[in-house]
Amino acid sequence: MPRALITGITGQDGLYLGELLVGRGYEVFGLVRGQSNPKVATVERLVPGVVLLEGDLTDLPSLIGAVEISQPDEVYNLGAISFVGLSWKQAELTGETTGMGVLRVLEALRIAGGNDLSRVRFYQASSSEMFGKVRETPQRETTPFHPRSPYGVAKTFGHYLTVNYRESYGLFACSGMLFNHESPRRGIEFVTRKISRAVARISLGLQDSVSLGNLESRRDWGFAGDYVDAMWRMLQQDTPDDFVVATGETHSIRELLDVAFARVGIEDWSGYVRSDPRFFRPAEVDVLVGDASKAREVLGWKPRVGFHELVEMMVDADLATEAAAADRH
Ligand code: NAP
Ligand code: G4F
């Protein structure tokens, strides 16, 4: 039975990846932080048989302990401060978690393995945010980086460190440069889920409007369930490498609003959306669109869920959740 250790198992991707690995016969270990993490029950429900280990990406001894207990064949480093907006307000914490956290996981593998990194395979959750102020369109594996946020800078550090451990120690280390991926499990701070939830609540009469920032930026949005499959495929190859994972389509926040509101029968949403300076960023990533040809050719990966289907799936899920909650009160 292969053994996998996932950091960030309580997050959106951790839950989908945990499900995928259990379905493929893995014994799954998940790192959970905090004294009493409220998401433990959800992880245990969705990832049957999971073994949860206490630890934190800012605490090297806890990571060494997690590696010693789990003895993993595969490590997926998904843990991070992942909200770009927060990364300006808590830049040091973002650097420590999203950047230095990668170093600590890699060092934990080296220390716990007595310098033998030949058994383990490592996946780093890199990001299209590294492309930032993009130098070419679409972005591919060779596109130069120009990160625009402390989060993007920290991810760039983690990305190069992953490459460096591959080149320095021969570690089977892969970096997935994943473009935005969403789902009904997405945190409510991210724009897709903020909108799907608000649209559901507005249509049920529970909320009057939603306050947003920049509606002009464009993102390449895919479905998280598809993207964790690409992570797993990277670690099953004969040689480690880095891959862009994306749909190849880009849409603005306005288009997202069009599809989400149309799902509840509202064609003109202008009366429901307010502009709030708090949600604009000090530096914006204006447009992202990825070229995932390499992932398609080498990994045999392609996205299954398109933009419209994704947004509608999220609005439908929030409608069901909000209606059930309203019924209970
Ligand atoms: P998410 O839902 O925000 O999950 C982040 C996870 O990191 C949570 O499990 C969180 O634990 C954990 N975490 C935060 N600080 C930690 C710490 N100090 N020690 C240990 N764990 C910590 O993010 P996601 O969407 O699943 O994304 C997974 C990874 O992919 C992240 O690294 C993200 O930056 C990266 N990524 C995401 C996307 C995307 O569009 N979703 C695209 C590219 C890259 P708690 O539950 O305890 O907070
Ligand atoms: O949903 P977002 O917060 O995602 P963002 O910044 O693109 O980052 C996500 O994707 C990255 C991959 O490219 C990941 F690495 C990262 O961890 C995260 O998962 O914002 C998307 C866009 C931005 O341009 C933002 O300015 O939506 C714009 N936006 C406009 N109003 C808003 C809002 N974003 C949020 N979160 N909230 C708003 O009210």
pLDDT tens digit string along 243-275?
999 999 999 999 999 999 999 999 999 999 999
Phi, psi of 36 (to 5 degrees): -150, 80
Query: Of 97, 143, 156, 162, which residue is the catalytic one?
Result: 156
Fold of 187-219+249-289+305-328: UDP-galactose 4-epimerase; domain 1 (3.90.25)
In the chain, domain spans: 3-181+223-245, 187-219+249-289+305-328
Tokens of 165: 């451990």
Write the CB contacts of 231 (distance below 8 Å, at least 6 apart in sequence). Answer: 13, 17, 76, 123, 125, 176
For 219-250, the pLDDT digits (tens) are: 999 999 999 999 999 999 999 999 999 999 99
**Protein residue closest via CA to atom 16 of ligand 2:** 82
Q: What's residue 329's pLDDT? A: 80
- Give the helix ranges, DSSP H, for the chain: 12-23, 40-46, 60-70, 84-89, 91-94, 100-112, 150-169, 191-203, 224-234, 253-263, 293-294, 307-328
Q: How far is CA 133 from the centre of its chain?
A: 20
CA distance 106 to 69: 16
Q: How far is CA 50 from the centre of its chain?
A: 20
156 is catalytic: yes
Q: From atom 28 of ligand 2, which residue's Cα is the shortest distance away?
A: 214
326: nearest Cα among 218, 206, 241: 206
Arch. (CATH architecture) of 3-181+223-245:
3-Layer(aba) Sandwich (3.40)
Q: Which string of DSSP letters, residue by residue, matches 24-54?
A: TT-EEEEEE-SSS-TTHHHHHHHSTT-EEEE
DSSP 283: S
pLDDT at 104: 98
User: How many other CB atoms are found less than 10 A from the CB of residue 84?
Assistant: 21
CA of 285 to the centre of ligand 2 (A): 9
State if residue 78 touches ligand 1 by the CB under 6 angstroms criterion: yes
Measured CA to CA, the distance from residue 72 to residue 269 in angstroms comes to 49
Per-residue confidence (pLDDT) for residue 115, from 0 to 100: 87
DSSP 219-255: E--EEHHHHHHHHHHHTTSSS--EEEE--S--EEHHH
The CB of 170 under 6 Å from ligand 1? The reply is no
Question: In the structure, how many helices (H) and strands (E) does the chain have?
Answer: 12, 13
Specify the 3-state DSSP secondary structure of 145: coil
pLDDT digits (tens, 9 = 90+) for 127-145: 999 999 999 999 999 999 9
**Which atom, in ligand 2's list, is nearest to the CA of 152?**
15
Report the Cα–Cα distance between both ends of the chain, in Å, rounded.
46
Ligand 2 in reach of 286 Cβ (< 6 A): no
pLDDT < 50 stretches in the chain? none
163 CA → ligand 2 middle, Å: 26
Per-residue pLDDT at 105: 98
d(CA 189, CA 186): 8
Distance CA 159, CA 27 (A): 27
Specify the pLDDT at position 50.
98
Q: Is residue 96 lining ligand 1, measured as CB closer than 6 Å?
A: no
- Does ligand 1 have an atom closer than 6 angstroms to the CB of 181? yes
Alpha helices in 71-175 (DSSP H): 84-89, 91-94, 100-112, 150-169
Q: What is the dihedral of CA 81, 301, 160, 102, to 10 degrees?
A: 40
